[in-house]
Structure formats: structure tokens, C-alpha cells
Amino acid sequence: MSHQAAVLGVGTSSFGKQPEVPLAQLAWSAVQEALSDSGVDARGIEAAYVGSVLGPFGSAQRALQGLGIGRIPVITVENACASGTTAFHEACWAVREGRYETVLVLGQEHMSSRITGAIPPDLGDPEGRSGLALPGVYAMAASRYMARYGLTLRQLAQVSVKNHGHALGNSRAQYSGDYTVEEVLASPLIADPLTLLQCCPISDGAAALVVGRAAARRDAVRVRSCALRSGRAWGYRSEHAWGFEIVRETAEAAYAEAGLGASEADLFEVHDSFTIGEILSIEGLGLAAEGEGGRLTESGHTALGGPQPVNPSGGLLSRGHPLGCTGVAQLAEVTWQLRGQAGARQVEGARIGVVETMGGGVAGLDGNACVVAVLERP
């Protein structure tokens, strides 16, 4: 028995550095909003899939117990930055297969209390031990793109200008601002060529979805497809910049399953953990040809008011990037957009929305994981 999965309700906390707010409290606000939005009682939840990267272990059970959600299977998944959308992927499959009728997806992360000192070195990760953290990996991808395609510093910065501007319409965003390209480029250099305003912040936050059967409610947002792939060893001599191939491969799988292409999507929430991330994402997603992402961004095509807005929420750069929460927050944004409830940042007439999350890679991996989901308005 196969069922079409759908999003029945969504909720999020606000996003920001909130060291004084316990993780469970962030989760409660997100889950309570999602339950209320869906009309599903806590007792109607049959299983929970939870995205979390930094833990601590057991925190999902502890948060859900406080809402009277216990005894059911609670499965916390880690898939780097794609943890939240991986939880969604597993939830959709379980609903599709008839294993459960109604499940909860929760993404949660309290980075400010978990990243408090030196992280123990991983013996199996020589790049990480040598100091090659994610800003450096993305910076090298940016340098590669610039050298290969003539991507300019101003085009990179335009991603930040756009997303910080979008976040002005999102009261839950961690940061927002009416910046100029010059201001973005003049902010402190983090990893050449990426400046501070081109890097996502440390964030605390939670987001939740109730996932059920599309037939359950007339106003359910349908899941046309959800694809998950993992990276493989990245060839340093590849013609592509790091991270591009896994996004393209996952997007192709998602579009094939949904039976549509990038041109039919009305909006995108993509993995702009660094400005170059949005460029490689929109190219991997087929929104721009390879090498054209910078020019497409400069043209205004991906800005609110343009034909295909990207990251109307403000994206990871501005809404924030609480690791395990991020994918679920992206899905919440697309759901609001497809229901016409996005307020000042509404994409008019949105019918198809695409979510892409890329789990950052280490040790030469072309990304640990990527999830692409295609959602459709009721």
C-alpha cells in the first residue's frame, strides 16, 4: 500500500544565539506550533524522526517527553548539515509505505552550548586535524569557481546582499540588513575570498513538521519527491568545484521522481552556508547553467520579486544555521510559501517549491550528504 506523503503542519522557534534558552524549550515552541498548525494531537503522533548533529544524546526524547510524546519510536538521525532533511526523508518513506500514518519531524540544535571549546581531533580526518575546517573548504571551492568561470567577488557578495535583504521580512531570522555589495566585501575576511557577511552564523533553533498522508487534508502540502545521496571521494583533479556533483546528482533524482524540472519551480530554499554554496547549489539544481550562477544572481532572477526567488527566508546566511534544524526550517519556509502564508516575503502564486540541503564534507568527500525535496501547493 503506497501513500503520498504530505506536510500537515509546521512550526519553528526563533533563530539566534540563545545560550540561556534550553534546547528542549526551543523544541517545544516548534513542535507545539506544528501540532497546532496540523490539528493533530500529540497522542496521534506514531513516531518521531529527529535531525541533530551535536546532541547531546537523548535530548530528543527529553524534549518530546515534556510534550507528552513518549513510548513511540524516536529516531535521531545525523547526516551533517543535511540531518533535518534526512529525518524528513525517512519520515516520508515511512508514511509512504504505510508503516505509520502520522509522524513528527523535528530538527533541533543548540550550538552555543555545544561548541564551547576545543573539539577532540578525529584520528580518521587528517584534513580536519590540519585545520581545514568548512570555511576553508568552501573558500577553496569559491576560488576554483572564480578561476574557472570568471565568477566575481561582487557576484558572490550579491548572494549575501539578497539574503540579508530577504530576511528583513522574516521576524524569526537571526540577522537581516539592507547591505550593499561594498559593505559585504568590506566585512572581516574569514577565509579568502569569503568575508564575515558571506558566512553563516552559529545558531540555536528548532523546527518541526507533522508529516502524514496527502489524502488526510485538503490543504496538505504534497511531497512530490525527496531524494537523498551521500558523497564519494572527490577527485582533486575533477573539472567541477567541490560539492557541485553531489547536488546535481541528488537534484536529478528528485526531479525525475517528481516528473518536473527546475524551470517549473517557483521558489527554492538552498544551502547557502557560505555565499559560494548558493552559487553551486543553484547550478547543481539546474536553475543556472554551470558557471552562470553568479550572473543569474546579479540579474535579480533569484531575488524576491524576480521569476524564481532563492532563499526568501533569508537562508542559512541570515535566518541562521542551527545544523540539525536547518533542513526542517527550509521545509517549513517552503510550506508557508506554498500555502500563501509567508507575509512580507511571500512569493506570489507559488505552486512548486524546492528544498536543497548539502551536508558539508570533510576528508576529500564530495559532501557527506545531500537531500533535495520537491513540494507542491495543495
Interacting residues with a copy of itself between 267 and 296 (CB under 8 A): none
User: CA-CA distance, 163 to 141, in Å (whole number)?
Assistant: 20
Residue 53 binding a copy of itself, by CB under 8 A: yes
Cis peptide bond N-terminal to 307, omega within 30: no
Secondary structure (DSSP) of 108-159: EEEHHHH--SPPPPPTT-HHHHTT--HHHHHHHHHHHHHHHH---HHHHHHH
Residue 152 binding a copy of itself, by CB under 8 A: no
Cell of 71: 513510548
Residue 41 binding a copy of itself, by CB under 8 A: no
Smallest distance from the beta carbon of 55 to a copy of itself, in angstroms?
7
Nearest to 182 by CA among 203, 154, 159, 202: 154
Residue 65 binding a copy of itself, by CB under 8 A: yes
Q: Which helix (H) or strand (E) holds 373?
A: strand 369-376
Sign of CA dihedral 324, 11, 14, 284: positive
Nearer to a copy of itself, 89 or 345 (CB): 89
Residue 93 binding a copy of itself, by CB under 8 A: yes
121 CB burial (10 A radius; 0-12, 13-18, 19+): exposed
Residue 4 binding a copy of itself, by CB under 8 A: no
Residue 17 binding a copy of itself, by CB under 8 A: no
By CB under 8 A, name the one of 12, 29, 52, 198 that touches a copy of itself.
Answer: 52
* Chain center to CA of 364: 22
Residue 73 binding a copy of itself, by CB under 8 A: yes
By CB under 8 A, name the one of 39, 41, 70, 196 that touches a copy of itself.
Answer: 70
Max intra-chain CA distance, the chain: 57
Nearer to a copy of itself, 56 or 340 (CB): 56
Smallest distance from the beta carbon of 111 to a copy of itself, in angstroms?
11
Parallel, antiparallel or unpaired: strands 204-213 and 5-12: antiparallel
End-to-end CA distance of the chain: 22
User: How many Cβ atoms from other residues are within 10 Å of residue 129's Cβ?
Assistant: 12
Smallest distance from the beta carbon of 370 to a copy of itself, in angstroms?
10
Nearer to a copy of itself, 121 or 150 (CB): 121
Cell of 132: 581545514
Nearest to 152 by CA among 288, 270, 283, 276: 276
Nearer to a copy of itself, 85 or 346 (CB): 85
Pattern of binders to a copy of itself over 234-273, x per CB under 8 A?
A: ---------------x------------------------
Helical pair 275-284 and 134-149, crossing angle rounded to 10 deg: 60
Smallest distance from the beta carbon of 167 to a copy of itself, in angstroms?
26
Residue 45 binding a copy of itself, by CB under 8 A: no
By CB under 8 A, name the one of 233, 256, 289, 344 that touches a copy of itself.
Answer: 233
Would you name the residues annotated as active-site residues?
81, 321
Residue 188 binding a copy of itself, by CB under 8 A: no
Residue 24 binding a copy of itself, by CB under 8 A: yes
Cell of 9: 503542519
Residue 13 binding a copy of itself, by CB under 8 A: no
Residue 369 binding a copy of itself, by CB under 8 A: yes
Interaction site with a copy of itself (CB under 8 A): 20-25, 52-53, 55-59, 61-65, 70-80, 86, 89-90, 93-94, 97, 99, 110, 113-114, 116-117, 119-125, 228-233, 249, 359-363, 365, 368-369
